[in-house]
Amino acid sequence: MDKHLLALASTFLIGGAVYGQTSGIVKGKVVDTQNNPLSSVTVSIGDKKVRTDHSGHFRLHGVDQNTVIKFTYMGYQTTVIDYVFSTKSPEVIIDAITLVSNEQAIDEVEVFGERNKKLKGLEMITRMPLKPSDQIQSISVISNKVIQDQGILTLTDAVRNIPGVTLFGSYGGVKESLSTRGFRGVPVLKNGVRMDSQFQTASGVVDMQGVESIQMIKGSAAVTQGVITDIGNAGGVINVVTKTPNFTNSGEVGVRAGSWGQFRPTFDFQTVLDKKQTVAFRMDGAYERSDSYRKSVSSNRVYLNPSLAWKPTDKTTITLEGDYFNDNRTPVNSAVNLNPSQGVNALYVIPNNKFLGFNSDNNNTEMKSFMAQINHELTDRWSIRASIATSSYQVDNQSSSSSLIKDDAKQYNTFSRSMSKSLRDDKNKTFQFDLIGKDLYTGKVKHLVQAGVDYRIADATTTSFAGKLSPLEKNVLLKKADQNSNVIDIIDIHGDWVNDL
């Protein structure tokens, strides 16, 4: 009797074990004929469907024995494989699936955007390696396609494509400070690093030749990056992403000419440096000079943006990039208030053939930045991202201004003119480290986990000079102002981040 019961129990246990292993997990990677990963490829078994991530990987649950796996992707031939499930292991990694291009299968179309793709540089401000559609924040993106089609040359022109963002002040036409949702001074970052230490980010001067995209987190979601002394703001935060190699061989040269003597030659070339396609280099540059409809006003600038990308292994990418920007232009005050009370709007617009300044008025802005970043996949589920960046923002501004004074007849029709000079040396350093886990499961609940730390140092020094002008006076001596001279502001910021989606 006992022997029969033991045999019957053994049969149920064996049967249960076999039944429990009739389905499992299949993982793999989808690439093209050049061994480049393909994202958003549809991988299906009957009604079950998943899509590959940005690195071409996929993961299928509940794969039965003797099943057929189908791989479909627009512009490529559909591939079908017969898969026989092994009962020895509940999780199997199959060889890379190669899809062959089928260019004749679809008609020619013009694409204005990229769907289901993780944008370059977006994780610098969101800290999560997700596509914009998967992010929990409200994000607007201005692509390089839009920048080129609209002929955008300034950050102000670019953000007009984002509802609710306006120019707060140009400071005589030499800077760009933006405003949104009632908040003055939206922080403007370059590759996730502050361009200056002021919370108004008055140094938002960018040459669009080196811009890959402009991304903005709108609303209170941006406060997760900190406020005032950090890179966030309750109104939003703007991130300017610069161009890096795409591991292709291409080049482009352009010239733009316009009114008032505008002349702007540009170039952009990139190349792969080795046969294994593991090292690539890119260089962007621009020069621009122009006059103005206003007499005695001119500008010129030089911009360079070199970058190098290296893939020592299939799971590791190292990127080095930097840019140099040098801009000289005449600061302009084109209006004067004729009422002694600043609360009364009585602006007198200066005629176009008049200029209240001097030939010596000039604003020089020099910006330099460098970033090194590494992305490494530890396993199929875990990866790390680390970056270190530095930026330098230096301004030498000499300008003149007019103010209304009260003459002997007590008539406010006399103006005095003063000259001022200001220097600013602003340096920022940032270190970021993130540990990211994807496709993590708690039962049937899927997780994407990120934990990270960042450390930022801001060091700014400002010096102000001022002098009063009398009629026909020459060789005006500029002296240090009584206040706000040599103001040194050093900020040391440390932050920790943990997210779970």
Q: How confident is the model at residue 376 (pLDDT cuts 50, 70, 90)?
A: very high
Residues 6+ apart with CB under 8 A from 327: 205, 299, 300, 301, 363, 364, 365, 366
Q: Are residues 219 and 255 in the same domain?
A: no
Q: What is the CATH number of the domain that holds 54?
A: 2.60.40.1120
Lowest-confidence range among 92-96, 303-307, 478-482? 478-482
pLDDT at site 9: 44
pLDDT averaged over the chain? Answer: 76
In a domain, 15, yes or no: no
pLDDT at site 13: 43
Q: How confident is the model at residue 231 (pLDDT cuts 50, 70, 90)?
A: low
Long-range contacts from 63-68, C-beta under 8 angstroms, 24+ separation: 63/23, 63/24, 63/25, 63/26, 64/22, 64/23, 65/22, 65/23
Q: Are residues 76 and 174 in the same domain?
A: no
Q: Are residues 258 and 128 in the same domain?
A: no
Question: How many domains does the chain contain in total?
Answer: 3
Q: Are residues 379 and 442 in the same domain?
A: yes
Q: Are residues 282 and 177 in the same domain?
A: no
Q: Are residues 303 and 431 in the same domain?
A: yes
Strand-pairing partners, residue 140, are 216
8 A C-beta contact, residue 45 and residue 123? no
Q: Are residues 150 and 208 in the same domain?
A: yes
8 A C-beta contact, residue 394 and residue 425? yes
8 A C-beta contact, residue 210 and residue 284? yes
Q: Among 220, 241, 262, which residue terminates a domain?
A: 241
Structure tokens at 490: 């050093």
For residues 143-167, average pLDDT? 84
pLDDT at site 62: 75
In a domain, 343, yes or no: no
In a domain, 17, yes or no: no
Query: Which residues constitute the domain of residue 363?
Result: 246-333+356-399+418-500
pTM of the model: 0.68
In a domain, 142, yes or no: yes
In a domain, 182, yes or no: yes
In a domain, 409, yes or no: no
8 A C-beta contact, residue 365 and residue 168? no
In a domain, 4, yes or no: no
Q: Among 223, 241, 259, which residue terminates a domain?
A: 241
Q: Are residues 267 and 290 in the same domain?
A: yes
* Residue 270: count of CB within 10 angstroms of its CB: 21
Q: What is the pLDDT of residues 43-87, one digit of tens each?
A: 988 778 888 988 888 988 777 767 788 899 988 888 888 876 665
Q: What is the CATH number of the domain that holds 366?
A: 2.40.170.20
CA 318, CA 335: separation in Å to the nearest integer? 50
Q: Are residues 369 and 493 in the same domain?
A: yes
The share of the chain scoring above pLDDT 70, in percent, equals 69
pLDDT at site 111: 53
Q: Are residues 253 and 315 in the same domain?
A: yes
Q: Are residues 223 and 305 in the same domain?
A: no
Instruction: Kindly write down the DSSP assignment for every residue of 436-461, as one continuous string.
Output: EEEEEEETTEEEEEEEEEEEEEEEEE
For residues 323-344, average pLDDT? 80
Q: What is the CATH number of the domain that holds 172?
A: 2.170.130.10
CA distances from 454 to 191, 197, 352, 427 (A): 14, 16, 49, 17
Q: Among 241, 256, 276, which residue terminates a domain?
A: 241
Q: Are residues 127 and 224 in the same domain?
A: yes
In a domain, 47, yes or no: yes
